[in-house]
Amino acid sequence: TSNVKLFCDFLTEHELKIHENGKTSKSPKLCGTNYPVSISFIVVNEFCERFSYYGMKAVLTLYFINYLHWDPNLSTAVYHAFSSLCYFTPVLGALIADSWLGKFKTIVYLSVVYVLGHIVKSVGAIPSVGDSTIHIVLSMVGLILIAFGTGGIKPCVAAFGGDQFDEEHTNERRKFFSIFYMSINGGSVLSTLITPILRGDVQCFGGDCYALAFGVPAILMVVALVVFISGSGMYKKSPPEGNILLDVCKCMGLAIKNRWKSSKYDPKKKHWLDWAEDKYPRRLIHEIKMVLRVLVLYIPLPMFWALFDQQGSRWTLQATRMNMAFMLNALLILVFVPIFDMVVYPLIGLCRINLTPLKKMAVGMIFAALAFGSATLVEVNVTVRLNISEIILQKMEDVKANNVHIAWQIPQYVLITAGEVMFSITGLEFSYSQAPANMKSVLQAGWLLTVAFGNVIVLIVAEGAGLDQWMEFLLFAGLLVAVCIIFSIMAYFYTYVDPDELDKLFPDKAANDDDEDNLKKNQKYHMDQTDNSMYLNPVEKSTKM
């Protein structure tokens, strides 16, 4: 009894939960709360993983230029190719977790791949290991492994954390996602502060210590993996239950196939997806229609990410040509989120302005475009001063070329952060509210793909445009304004829906099905699905994933 009391200083008594399969499992809770102990391992794991990822990315562009001796355009292109791959691979991770290994094993196995990537990347940053070709090969292999690791676990960790809660503890689950969000941003802020210091202030092998700057994130990823595995005995581990994304793709494929094979004598369908009615339940088809309407709105969105993700490439390169006495960091997002939620949006509401989610996203685009307008002005100022300084050396005078203070970047960071809050967070909330419960994972994958395609746009422009940097910034700003206009027109014709109305349209009753076979398909389909809606991470709203 005394041992139990001591243990309860940290935990409540173990609760025995009876599952449908008749088995029992222990579900320890934090003492006096309904929070499972297992989530503490998941939150620490996420903090370490985000530190690892953003710490490595903080010096990646400079590593390409100063260590691999690539030109700025190639460095920018590879940086965004890597970022793009990190947002394509979550689809693969979701398929593996839902259809094969389950979330726990997927996180563990792909975290091992993640660690190997960091190790290979760190070894490639050691000058004595081979020649420049070996360094490039090791760096690229390491980045590919990291992309598969971080992208593969991205859709699994938050959902796995949500799995730990009992169904009746929905409020605790929502608060968990807020804690999860803070762990992501906490890891991001610390890493973007510490890693550049390790690179620049610590010398090794006769120069900046990139091996250490990459090695520390590698160690943090090892810690993340060890912490996650340590909680294994406390986790609820749901078996793979089939992937709704795969079902959606199959349904759409069948509809296209049947529509293509149809003749002019066949009965007409109101919607092309109705051609899949012979095999798939009508509720699923209706849900896919709802999702497609949102996915269409996603088409212009990559342009926003094309601007947003240049903070780690073009803006970093701009900063290297300025007076580095001041460094702006990721703390802005932690400051702006509560300011917008508690001050800005309530004030707008008091003014009786109907600021819908889609309107917020459009305003976020404008802020991002203004940020690049500000970056253009800074770039022109830096370029002009550099040119003047070059003329004055020619006159044998000792004048520093980088005499533009980096504080001039503050406006562009303030604007891009405001844009992130209004566009990214609102976009995920909008998508979440407009999708049926079992389709939210599909929209999560679609949202992450917009980030991936945004980085592809930067890659193409960086390699193909051949413009001066200030002209490139201005081009991106103009493109986003044009895209914002298109998006606003699309948003004007969008009709908001309530996914809960589906239960009224498609109750599980025979009266709503034309035949017994269709009823069975509906019943089987509903039995096979689980509601993952509560498990989506509201933070991946901010794309710091």
Q: Is the model more confident about 514 or about 105? A: 105
Do 485 and 409 have their domain in common?
A: yes
- pLDDT grade for 533, boundaries at 50, 70 and 90: very low
Question: What is the dihedral angle through the alpha carbons of 133, 136, 142, 148, rounded to the nearest 10 degrees?
Answer: -120
Do 365 and 218 have their domain in common?
A: no
pLDDT at position 330 is 63
Does 137 map to a domain? yes
- The residue length of the chain stands at 545
Does 434 map to a domain? yes
> Distance between CA atoms of 254 and 438, rounded to whole angstroms?
20
Do 64 and 149 have their domain in common?
A: yes
- What's the predicted TM-score (pTM) here? 0.76
Q: What is the pLDDT of residues 460-481, one digit of tens each?
A: 887 777 788 899 999 999 999 9
Does 483 map to a domain? yes
Do 218 and 309 have their domain in common?
A: no
Do 209 and 316 have their domain in common?
A: no
- As a whole number, mean pLDDT of residues 179-204 equals 81
In this predicted structure, the answer to whether residue 129 has a pLDDT above a threshold of 60 is yes
Do 238 and 304 have their domain in common?
A: no
Count Cβ atoms below 10 Å from residue 321 Cβ, excluding itself: 17
Q: What is the pLDDT of residues 76-102, one digit of tens each?
A: 889 999 999 999 998 888 888 888 888
The angle subtended at Cα 268 by Cα 263 and Cα 271, nearest 5°, is 115
Q: For residue 179, give the amino acid letter.
A: I
pLDDT at position 214 is 94
Q: How far is CA 424 from each of CA 294, 362, 364, rounded to the nearest angstrom?
A: 15, 11, 8
Q: What is the pLDDT of residues 251-290, one digit of tens each?
A: 999 999 998 988 877 888 889 999 999 899 988 899 899 9
In this predicted structure, the answer to whether residue 140 has a pLDDT above a threshold of 90 is yes
Does 21 map to a domain? no
Task: Report whether 371 contacts 307 (CB < 8 A).
Answer: yes
In this predicted structure, the answer to whether residue 540 has a pLDDT above a threshold of 50 is no
Q: What is the pLDDT of residues 434-451, one digit of tens each?
A: 878 677 767 777 888 899
Does 20 map to a domain? no
In this predicted structure, the answer to whether residue 24 has a pLDDT above a threshold of 50 is no
Residues 337-354: b if buried by 16+ CB within 10 A, e if exposed: beebeeeebeeeeeeeee
> Distance between CA atoms of 523 and 241, rounded to whole angstroms?
16
> Distance between CA atoms of 15 and 532, rounded to whole angstroms?
23
Structural domain that includes position 330: 298-391+400-508
pLDDT at position 402 is 58
Count Cβ atoms below 10 Å from residue 291 Cβ, excluding itself: 20
Do 197 and 80 have their domain in common?
A: yes
Q: Which of 379, 345, 349 minimizes the C-alpha distance to 364?
A: 345
The DSSP annotation for 17-65 comes to EE-TTS-EEEE-BBTTSS-BTHHHHHHHHHHHHHHHHHHHHHTHHHHHH
Do 307 and 412 have their domain in common?
A: yes
Q: What is the pLDDT of residues 232-248, one digit of tens each?
A: 999 998 888 677 888 88
CATH classification of the domain holding 60: 1.20.1250.20
Do 196 and 317 have their domain in common?
A: no
In this predicted structure, the answer to whether residue 529 has a pLDDT above a threshold of 60 is no
Q: What is the pLDDT of residues 354-401, one digit of tens each?
A: 889 899 999 999 999 999 999 999 988 887 766 666 665 755 444 444
Does 281 map to a domain? no
> Distance between CA atoms of 444 and 470, rounded to whole angstroms?
34
Mean model confidence pLDDT for the chain? 81
Helices (H), 280-356: 282-298, 302-308, 314-320, 331-339, 345-350
pLDDT at position 401 is 47
- As a whole number, mean pLDDT of residues 36-57 equals 93
pLDDT at position 333 is 75
The angle subtended at Cα 194 by Cα 192 and Cα 197, nearest 5°, is 110
Q: Is the model more confident about 70 or about 425? A: 70
Specify the number of domains making up the chain.
Answer: 2
Task: Report whether 99 contacts 243 (CB < 8 A).
Answer: yes
In this predicted structure, the answer to whether residue 543 has a pLDDT above a threshold of 90 is no
Q: For residue 496, give the amino acid letter.
A: Y
Do 226 and 342 have their domain in common?
A: no
DSSP 169: -
Do 319 and 438 have their domain in common?
A: yes
Q: Which of 59, 335, 336, 312 minimizes the C-alpha distance to 202?
A: 59
Q: Is the model more confident about 265 or about 309? A: 309
Does 533 map to a domain? no
Do 302 and 231 have their domain in common?
A: no
Does 338 map to a domain? yes
Contacts of 377 (CB under 8 A, 6+ apart): none
Q: Which of 299, 306, 301, 302 minimizes the C-alpha distance to 473?
A: 306
Q: Which of 66-75, 416-425, 441-450, 452-461 has the lowest mean pLDDT?
A: 441-450
Q: How far is CA 125 from each of CA 42, 54, 133, 144, rounded to the nearest angstrom?
A: 30, 17, 12, 16
Q: For residue 441, give the amino acid letter.
A: S
